[in-house]
Structure 1
Amino acid sequence: MNKVVDSAAAAVSVIGHGASIAVGGFGLAGVPSVLLRALLAGGVGGLHVVSNNCGTDGRGLGELLGAGQIARVTGSYVGENKEFARQYLAGEVEVELIPQGTLAERLRAGGSGIPAFYTPAGVGTLVESGGLPWRYHPDGTVAVASPPREVRVFDGVPYLLERSIVTDFALVRALKGDIYGNLVFSKAARNFNPLAAMAGRVTIAEVEELCELDPAEVHLPGIFVQHVVALTPSEAADKPIEKRIVRS
């Protein structure tokens, strides 16, 4: 039952070329940066990443993107990552942009064994009709576009059919965890982390504190987590701020 792995490198060694990975975090909050750097060091490429965004330049998933290890991103926000935008527009990476709430529900549904669901988000837009650029040619023309969604009307209201997401692996970060994989998240870090953990067939969690947990405080049960990596104090304290704003 003890799911603790000695190191981040050992934990991610099971991830191979072309794997699909759900990654927790929002901006730089709750990003499993230690696991991502271990993946960066391993040099595994062709990765299909599912995450709200792709980090920032030089942080989080942005590090793997800059190293050319990511082939496809499913997310809802290009964000502040200039290299992400450059690679997308240059046709170097495929990007499926979907509404943020839809992304969250696709991950949750995948982890719950629900193959698909209907949502009103995107009705009357290119999400419904298709044609959103997923990949560009180097000359700027569209190489791959999104397909149209199936539409069904319930009580006079149209809804789009969305497929759930299940990935080969998931990488998440938690404030606390125990040896059984039960996790507790801190404040805003409880964003996409539980959903990503649910969607992965094999989920690896880095935890800032490895300890015994009161069952009443658990946010995500250990049934969704296969491996746990305990961070060092310096790793746990490494929490960059995406945008620091002060008064003049």
Structure 2
Amino acid sequence: MATKVFDTAAAAVADVSDGATLAVGGFGLCGIPDVLIQALVDSGVGDLEVFSNNCGVDDHGLGLLLNEHRVRRVVASYVGENKEFARQYLAGELEVELTPQGTLAERLRAGGAGIPAFFTPAGVGTPVSDGGLPWRYASDGSVAVASPPKETRVFGDKRYVMELGINADFALVHAVKGDTAGNLVFDKTAMNFNPLAAMAGKITIAQVEELVEPGEIDPAQVHLPGIFVKRIVHTGPQNKRIEKRTVTASEGAAQ
């Protein structure tokens, strides 16, 4: 059996080609696969479609790919603190499908579970279901591409909208611990989207802070089984970026 462990992040992402679709884990800057993203930046790959909760910040995470105009389309829940993300979207340089956060999570999970579509009440009666959300703007500020209406159906006495599951060519995730068989453990908020992104990828690549041998992780503590993971890179602990640092004035300081 071939090993899942790659010596470098560059080797692990070497076959990610132009036009690929990527499911990327993380929440804000928490639990993002920053080493793997940097390896993609260094590789020169472009024209990417990304499924991710958000796109990091201007100088970190997926923001690095955005800054170099390597991303063609983003399916996300939050533009957030990334000014370049907002600028490219409003300037018509980037196509963006904004999706309710819980819906995005379930679309990733459904894709990984082999479920092609599901019904949810989130977004019913809004442009999410009725269509008309601006996916891409023209250079003059008009809407060049708008979202289409989605199928709705009544179950009981409540209307639901149909959402499609997501499958991606590759998934990039960050785990605090993993074994060489691909079993992963995520830490705190990093559990929000990393396991779901990992399920959605045809080829899932995990960067792990601590790499151990099979059997060293209690099976009851495994958050994602190794069946979903094809490649592993041992990166060691990384310097964690804080999206917004907030401090209080010291006691006695001038107000």
Q: Same fold (TM over 0.5)?
A: yes
d(CA) in 1 for partners of 2:218, 2:100: 35
Structure 1 gaps of 5+ residues are: none
| Residue 67 of structure 2: aligned partner | 66
1:237 counterpart SS class: coil
2:6 counterpart SS class: coil
Off by >4 Å, runs of 4+ in structure 1: none
The residue type equivalent to 2:25 in the other structure is: G
| Residue 229 of structure 1: aligned partner | 233
| Residue 185 of structure 1: aligned partner | 186
> What whole-Å deviation, never above 9, does each CA across 1:145-186 have from its counterpart, x for those lacking one?
000010100001000000100000000000000000000001
d(CA) in 2 for partners of 1:206, 1:140: 40
The residue type equivalent to 1:119 in the other structure is: T
2:209 counterpart SS class: strand
d(CA) in 2 for partners of 1:228, 1:68: 27
d(CA) in 1 for partners of 2:197, 2:219: 21
The residue type equivalent to 2:47 in the other structure is: G
Measure how far apart 1:238 and its partner are: 1.3
| Residue 245 of structure 1: aligned partner | 246
d(CA) in 2 for partners of 1:78, 1:99: 12
d(CA) in 2 for partners of 1:226, 1:104: 21
| Residue 201 of structure 1: aligned partner | 202
d(CA) in 1 for partners of 2:41, 2:179: 26
> What whole-Å deviation, never above 9, does each CA across 1:67-93 have from its counterpart, x for those lacking one?
110000000000000000000000001
d(CA) in 1 for partners of 2:71, 2:162: 27
2:7 counterpart SS class: coil
Measure how far apart 1:206 and its partner are: 0.1
| Residue 44 of structure 2: aligned partner | 43
d(CA) in 2 for partners of 1:86, 1:125: 25
Q: Does 1:218 align with 2:217?
A: no
| Residue 149 of structure 1: aligned partner | 150
| Residue 253 of structure 2: aligned partner | none
> What whole-Å deviation, never above 9, does each CA across 1:81-124 have from its counterpart, x for those lacking one?
00000000000010000100000000000000000000000011
> What whole-Å deviation, never above 9, does each CA across 1:181-217 have from its counterpart, x for those lacking one?
0000011111100000000000000000001322121
> What whole-Å deviation, never above 9, does each CA across 1:35-79 have from its counterpart, x for those lacking one?
000000001000000000011011100000001100000000000
1:63 counterpart SS class: helix
Q: When the two structures are aligned, how many residues end up with a matched partner? A: 245
d(CA) in 1 for partners of 2:160, 2:211: 43
d(CA) in 2 for partners of 1:238, 1:59: 12
The residue type equivalent to 1:87 in the other structure is: Q
d(CA) in 2 for partners of 1:216, 1:129: 43
Measure how far apart 1:237 and its partner are: 2.8
d(CA) in 1 for partners of 2:247, 2:126: 38
1:123 counterpart SS class: coil
139-148 or 236-245, which moves further after superposition?
Answer: 236-245
Query: RMSD of the TM alignment (CA)?
Result: 0.7
Per the normalisation by structure 1, the TM-score is 0.98
